[in-house]
Amino acid sequence: MSSLASTPAHAPATTRTFLLLGPPGCGKGTQAERLAKHFGIPAISTGEMIRAEVRAGTELGRTAAGVMVTGGLLSDELVNQIVRSRLGKEDCRGGFLLDGYPRTVPQAEYLAALLAELGMPQPLVLHIDVPEALLIERTCNRRYCPQCGAIYNLSTHPPKKAGLCDSCHVELKQRDDDCEETVRNRLAAYQRSTAPLIEHYSGRSYVRVDGSGSPDEVFQAILAALA
């Protein structure tokens, strides 16, 4: 494993590292933003890391772009290298929150070795669990603004005026894949890939949180679990 010469041998004593697990539609993005603000650490998604490398025009970014343009999936090796590059940056010295990585047990093993190499603590795993029926309801009720990208939910976070964005006042749209059949397929794929990961982390620093409540209730449940 190559070293990161620019990375300090040891992270600050207050360093916190988190992994956020949960099925599509469980609210990981919302909770990631809140936790990042609460602890003063960056929230990093797999997509954000990859896009940053592509924008920067790095060798990793050019390789990733070449794979994605053909519709292919990035290999574990490439994703691991992108994670290594991101976690070596200065803003991660005090900790970070990862959303969307690791997705497999081999990736989890790589991350454990990388954190040890960087002198950082092993992560606390936060698993936001939501019943399948509720996930389907949430996702099928999701709408977005095509102009500003704001996300609404007809049942839990509706717009002030039906069908229109609060800010842009343009008609809200529904993503083509926000339908029950697609959601069920996504959830099945998630269970296949993530169940082994949950088993891998359970019994260590692993916390399961009921994600059925409102965003505020889930956030408070996470903080209570961390306390």
Could you confirm whether 186 is annotated as catalytic? Answer: yes
Q: What is the DSSP letter of 134?
A: H
- Catalytic residue, chosen from 51, 184, 186, 208, is 186
Could you confirm whether 143 is annotated as catalytic? Answer: no
- Catalytic residue, chosen from 28, 84, 93, 143, is 28
Could you confirm whether 184 is annotated as catalytic? Answer: no
Could you confirm whether 142 is annotated as catalytic? Answer: yes
Task: Specify whether the CB–CB gap between 20 and 97 falls below 8 A.
Answer: yes
- Catalytic residue, chosen from 34, 84, 142, 143, is 142
Helix spans in 57-170 (H)? 59-68, 76-87, 105-118, 132-140
- Catalytic residue, chosen from 51, 89, 103, 208, is 103
CA 114, 117, 120, 121 torsion-angle sign: positive
Helix spans in the chain (H)? 28-39, 46-56, 59-68, 76-87, 105-118, 132-140, 180-201, 215-226
Q: Which residues are catalytic?
A: 28, 103, 142, 175, 186
